Structure 1
């Protein structure tokens, strides 16, 4: 089955098809690959779940657009399951996100406009006012990190960060609940903001890294 999935992906690549382009029909794939229709259909279902193939009922099959939903669901499930044991997968997710954000904050600062910086200021002000509202505080935390890296105009990066955020948010729900935690989180983001506004790239990177260190400690405490 996996070999057949690879064969279908090779057809897409060899024909130079782009996202949104029509795919060969099931019948054409059966004829070209020399396998049964049910086998092709099952392989297409897997590729559809991965976002490689898109099925539009009544129109046919098309090459999928970038879609990391399957990755997000898998990471989220295993990270949350790991919180019931040693938390290794959850810690891995935090480590990868920490590495990405800490490494890219410098280029992000260089790319920021005055409007970008003002949006960050408003976001942190909102976080400071929402410390008693866990859902609102988490939403603004998410927005802060989107605003930080949006100026890079890197679509893949933003999609990856969205994947990590969805996992990270579930992890945080499992280990953080209190108003003091939300208040401390707002303070940390204000410190990051100050470093960003001052153009202090190394300090901003260190603060981001420390921010994730604290969450890692929370996971370890929750699973010890």
Structure 2
């Protein structure tokens, strides 16, 4: 049985150089997310490479969320997309659960740092409309909790709306990535409602909303920080097992 050829270091270097050349071309031409890129033939001629090399480089850039290819339409500069980051972090977090959960705990640390660090700015800019939207989400959480049901979508919506006043799309997307990764880890650890405690979780969100409504930054920051104690306890329990 034959083994696949091992990629030589010089081949990897050429691929890295070619991907850099393509991203430099995008920047030099001032292309924006969603803009069409030169055709495959044009890129081959301009960069002096063959079709196979170009396609390999494009696959790498697709995986990184830089280039988007659409069959029958061509290549485009990818719109803002953090899917690759999300998939990588989710994989690392779940993989770590098979060992000591170190990476999973690090991911929780990052999400906690982002939310506690930015809640003050969010409170400064929160509007009546945001508060109304948060109230509706928390009310839905409480209704689910009364039926001893979890409320994944409402939880995600709460944290998204909470930081919408900052009007930072990259931040919104990044927080969404960390929320999805966090949720993946949480579900992998335990989904038993006796452990996840929907009623307590709903109350935690109600308390955070009350602090935001009162523009009490200190209390809001403390409550959000404590909000992560549950997942840390679950990870510690998983590690001990």
Q: Which moved more, 1:69-78 or 1:50-59?
A: 50-59
Task: Report the Cα offset of residue 127 of structure 1.
Answer: 1.0
SS of the equivalent of 2:227 reads helix
What's the C-alpha RMSD, in Å, of the aligned pairs? 1.4
SS of the equivalent of 2:69 reads strand
Structure 1 equivalent of residue 92 of structure 2: 78
Residue 229 (structure 2) pairs with residue 213 (structure 1): yes
Cα distance in 2 for partners of 1:138, 1:51 equals: 26
Using the size of structure 2 for normalisation, the TM-score is 0.88
How many pairs align? 222
Structure 2 unaligned regions, length at least 5: 1-14
Cα distance in 2 for partners of 1:130, 1:223 equals: 30
Cα distance in 2 for partners of 1:184, 1:3 equals: 53
Residue 79 (structure 2) pairs with residue 65 (structure 1): yes
Task: Report the Cα offset of residue 49 of structure 1.
Answer: 2.2
Structure 1 unaligned regions, length at least 5: none
Residue 218 (structure 2) pairs with residue 202 (structure 1): yes
Cα distance in 2 for partners of 1:118, 1:14 equals: 45
- 1:23-79 CA-to-partner distances (Å, cap 9, x unmatched) read 122222222222221011111011122221111222211111111011111111111
Cα distance in 2 for partners of 1:97, 1:45 equals: 30
Using the size of structure 1 for normalisation, the TM-score is 0.94
Say which of 85, 101, 105 aligns to 2:119: 105
Assess, with a 3 A threshold, how the Cα gap between structure 1 residues 59 and 174 changes in structure 2: closer, same or farther: closer
Residue 55 (structure 2) pairs with residue 41 (structure 1): yes
Residue 173 (structure 2) pairs with residue 182 (structure 1): no
Structure 2 equivalent of residue 146 of structure 1: 160
SS of the equivalent of 2:26 reads helix
Task: Report the Cα offset of residue 179 of structure 1.
Answer: 3.0
Structure 1 equivalent of residue 10 of structure 2: none
Regions of 4+ moved over 3 Å: none
Structure 2 equivalent of residue 121 of structure 1: 135
